[in-house]
Chains A and B, each alone.
Chain A
Amino acid sequence: MWEGIAQGLGTALDPANLLWVAAGCCAGTLIGMLPGLGPITAIALMIPVSYTLDPAAGLIMMAGVYYGAVFGGSTSSILINAPGVASTVATSFDGYPMARAGEAGRALAIAAYASFAGGTIGALALLLFAGALASWATAFQSPEYTLILVLALSSIAAFAERGRVARSCVAALLGLMLGTVGTDQSAGVQRFTFGRLDLMDGISFILLAMAVFALAEAFHMLTTRERGGDYRPAASVRLRKGDARAITPTVGRNSALGFLVGILPGAGATLASFFAYDFEKRFNRNPACGIAAPEAANNAACTGSFVPLLTLGIPGSGTTAVLLGVMLSLGIQPGPRLLETDPAVFWGVIVSMYIGNLVLLALNLPLIPYISRLIQISRPVLIPFVAAFSLVGVYLTTSNVFDLYLMLGFGVAALILRSWGFPLAPLLLGFILSGMLEENLRRTFYLVDGSFSMLLHRPATLVLAIACAAIWMAPAIRWWRNRPRGEPRS
C-alpha cells in the first residue's frame, strides 16, 4: 500500500498533472457558482476536454471538477439563498442570515475553510480506508436506508421554532407530497401529472429550491416596506477571533460523519449535510458551526462517494454515474481490480485530492472580498438580479418555459406560507427525501412480506430502528409536556 501511495504521489506531483488538477478545480468551482450548473453539469461540460488527456490526467482533472463544483456551490447558497445543489441547502440555513447581517465575507470564509478541511480529511480517510470500507457500502440495504431516511426526516424538529412544530410538520408534508408528483419510481405509473407531459419527470430539485428559497426571498424583499431587508455593509471579510477554535471540533466530527454517510450510495452528500446540521444544532447554537458542519460534511461525503466508485465500480449518485462514464471512456475500469490494473491512477487520484483542496482554498479565499461585495448593491438592483439568477438557472437545466410558470407559482405560495410562520427548510427536506423514502419503504415491505422477524436478524437495522424511535419520541414527549395552550404570540 505504501508503495502504491508513493507511486500515486509521483503521478499527482507530475507537473502536467498538477496543472490539470488546478485547471479542473478552477473550472469546477467557477461552474459550481453559476446558477443551475451543479457538479453533474460541470462534469458533463468538461468531458470534451478530458478526451485530449491521458487517463490519469483526465481522471485527476475530472475529480477536481467534481469537488471544485461542490466547493463553489455554497457561494450562491450563502449570498442569495439560492442553493444550486441539494447538498448546499443546509449551508444556507445559517449562512444566508449571516450574509444578510453584513458578514458575507465571514460566512464564505468559514465555508471555504470547512470545505477544505472536510475535503482533506475525506481524502486522508479515502487513502487509508478505501479498501476496508468497500463492504460498508453493501452492508446497507433497503430496510436500513428506510430507517436512515426516517432519521433524516426527524431533523425537521431542528427547524421548528418554539410552538411551531405543527407548521414545521405541515411544511415537511407539503415537501413529501411535491416529491410524489411525476412518474412513480417503483411502479412506473403516473401520479399527479394531470395529463401534462411537463410534469411527467416530476418537479426538479433545483426548480423547487430556487423558487422556495431564492425567488421567495426576492419576493419577500420586494414586498416588505421597511428598509430592514437591506444587506448591511460588510463589517468583516474574515474570520472572527473565536471562530477558528469554535469550528475546529465541529469540522472534525462532521468530516468523519460526512465521509461515512458519503460512502452510502444514494444521496450521500445531501443526507450528510442535513445530518451534520441537525446534529450540530442540537447542542450548539453558534451560526459559525451551523455553516461549518454541513460544508465539512458535504465535501467529505463527496470524497467518500469515491469509495464505492473506485473500489466497486458503483456510482452512488448521478454525478458519480457521469464520472463513471468518463472513466470508462478514458479506458479506466473502476472496480476491485483497479488497484491491480491501474495503481498509479487509483493512488494518483486520491493524492491529487489533497493538492486540489489546497488549490481550491488558495483560489477561493482571495476571491471572497470581491464576491461578498457583489451583494452590497442597493435593493432595487439586487432583487431583479436574484430573480434573474434563479430563473435562468432553472431554464438552463430543462429549457422548458413551463418550469418558469411553475417557479412563479411556488415562489408566491412560499411567500404566503412564510408570512404565516411556516418554515420552508422542512419543505425542501421533505421533498428531497420523499422519492428515496418511498422507494426504499416499498422495497422493504415487499421483502418483509408480512413478517417483521427478518428485521431482527439484521443488527444494523435493529440499532437504526432504536435510534429512530428514540429521536422521534424525544421531541414528541417534550412537545406534549410544554404543549402550547392556544396560539402563542411569536
Chain B
Amino acid sequence: MTGRIVPLGLLLVAGIYLWATLRIELDPWSADELVNARAMPLFCGILLALFATVMLFRGLTPTETGRRYKSLAMMAACIVGFAVLIPNAGLWPALALFLAASLKLLGERRPLVLTVAPLATALAGWTLIEVGLGVYIHPGAWWS
C-alpha cells in the first residue's frame, strides 16, 4: 500500500496542474500559436501523469524507511513560529528565538549554548548585514 502513496500524490499534482493549465487565460496574440502559454505546461503535465500512472501500477519501494516524523513536525512548528515572529519581532530577534527553540528541541541542554549561541549568531548577522553591508531590514512591528 505504501508503494502507492507517492505515485498517487504525483498523479494528484499532475491533475491539479493540468486543471490549472486549462484555466490559463491566453493573450490575443498567442492564442492561435502552436506553442503558447499552455503548451509546455500541457506537455509536462501529461508526461508526469503518464509516469505516475505507470508507477502506480508497478508500485514504488521506499529507499529509506523508519523516519522520525515527530521531530520533523516539531521542527516545522519552529519554522512556522519563526515566520510568524519576523514581521513582529524583527528578523534578528526572531532568529535568536528560532535557534534557541530548535536547539532545545533537538536535545541541547547546556544553558550556555542555548543562550549565547543564538544571541551571538543574531548579533553577528545584524552587524554583518545591516551595519556592514547597509541592507535595510524592517525592525518589526513591536518596536516601531
CB atoms of A415 and B72 under 8 A apart: yes
CB atoms of B40 and A180 under 8 A apart: yes
Q: A177-B48, A187-B26, A191-B24 are in contact. Are A445 and B34 (CB under 8 A)?
A: yes
Distance (whole angstroms) from the CB of A153 to the closest CB of chain B: 12
Chain B interface size band reads 35 or more
CB atoms of A170 and B72 under 8 A apart: no
CB atoms of B91 and A392 under 8 A apart: yes
CB atoms of A194 and B75 under 8 A apart: no
CB atoms of B135 and A45 under 8 A apart: yes
CB atoms of B24 and A445 under 8 A apart: no
Across the interface, A486 reaches (CB within 8 A) one of B58, B66, B134, namely B58
A-side contacts of B60, CB under 8 Å: 420-421, 487
A-side contacts of B86, CB under 8 Å: 395, 401, 404
Cα A48 to Cα B133 with chains together (Å): 10
Does A310 touch B at the CB level, under 8 Å? no
CB atoms of A188 and B27 under 8 A apart: yes
CB atoms of B51 and A420 under 8 A apart: no
CB atoms of B99 and A442 under 8 A apart: no
The 8 A CB mask of B61-100 against A (1 = contact, 0 = none) is 1111111110110011001101110110001000100110
Does A276 touch B at the CB level, under 8 Å? no
Chain A interface size band reads 35 or more
Does B15 touch A at the CB level, under 8 Å? no
Looking at A223, A387, A415, the one whose CB has the most chain B CB atoms below 10 A away is: A223
Distance (whole angstroms) from the CB of B81 to the closest CB of chain A: 11
The 8 A CB mask of A210-225 against B (1 = contact, 0 = none) is 0000000011001111
Does B119 touch A at the CB level, under 8 Å? no
Nearest A residue to B49 by beta-carbon distance?
A173
CB atoms of A387 and B33 under 8 A apart: no
B-side contacts of A225, CB under 8 Å: 66, 68
B-side contacts of A383, CB under 8 Å: 75, 102, 106
The 8 A CB mask of B27-39 against A (1 = contact, 0 = none) is 1011001111101
CB atoms of A45 and B138 under 8 A apart: no
CB atoms of A184 and B61 under 8 A apart: no
A-side contacts of B99, CB under 8 Å: 384-385, 388
**Chain B at the A interface: mostly helix, strand, loop or mixed?**
helix
The 8 A CB mask of B44-58 against A (1 = contact, 0 = none) is 110110011011001
Looking at B35, B87, B91, the one whose CB has the most chain A CB atoms below 10 A away is: B35
B-side contacts of A434, CB under 8 Å: 40
Distance (whole angstroms) from the CB of A225 to the closest CB of chain B: 6
Does A381 touch B at the CB level, under 8 Å? yes
Q: Count A-B contacts at CB 8 Å.
A: 179
Does A286 touch B at the CB level, under 8 Å? no
Does A205 touch B at the CB level, under 8 Å? no
CB atoms of B138 and A399 under 8 A apart: yes
B-side contacts of A203, CB under 8 Å: none
Cα A135 to Cα B55 with chains together (Å): 48
Cα A380 to Cα B103 with chains together (Å): 7
Distance (whole angstroms) from the CB of A85 to the closest CB of chain B: 17
Distance (whole angstroms) from the CB of B111 to the closest CB of chain A: 14
Does A192 touch B at the CB level, under 8 Å? yes
Distance (whole angstroms) from the CB of B102 to the closest CB of chain A: 4
CB atoms of B24 and A223 under 8 A apart: no
Does B128 touch A at the CB level, under 8 Å? yes
Distance (whole angstroms) from the CB of B53 to the closest CB of chain A: 11
Cα A222 to Cα B76 with chains together (Å): 11
Does A419 touch B at the CB level, under 8 Å? yes
Cα A192 to Cα B14 with chains together (Å): 12
Cα A490 to Cα B16 with chains together (Å): 31
CB atoms of B113 and A391 under 8 A apart: no
Cα A408 to Cα B72 with chains together (Å): 11
Does B139 touch A at the CB level, under 8 Å? no
Task: Rank and list the top 8 A-B pairs by shortest CB-CB distance, nearest first.
Answer: A380-B106, A384-B102, A223-B67, A421-B63, A404-B83, A445-B35, A419-B64, A173-B48
Q: Which residues of B contact A (CB under 8 A)?
A: 6, 9-10, 13, 17, 20-21, 24-27, 29-30, 33-37, 39-41, 44-45, 47-48, 51-52, 54-55, 58-69, 71-72, 75-76, 79-80, 82-84, 86-87, 91, 95, 98-99, 102-103, 106-108, 113, 117, 121, 125, 128-129, 133-135, 137-138
Q: Which residues of A contact B (CB under 8 A)?
A: 31, 34, 37, 45, 48, 166, 169-170, 173-174, 176-177, 180, 184, 186-192, 194, 218-219, 222-225, 379-381, 383-385, 387-388, 391-392, 395-396, 399, 401, 404-405, 407-408, 412, 415-421, 434, 437-438, 441-442, 445-446, 486-487, 489-490
- Can you show 22 pairs from A to B with CB atoms below 8 A apart? A173-B48, A187-B36, A189-B24, A189-B25, A189-B26, A189-B37, A191-B41, A192-B20, A222-B72, A391-B79, A392-B95, A395-B91, A408-B76, A415-B72, A417-B6, A419-B67, A420-B60, A421-B63, A437-B40, A442-B35, A446-B35, A490-B63
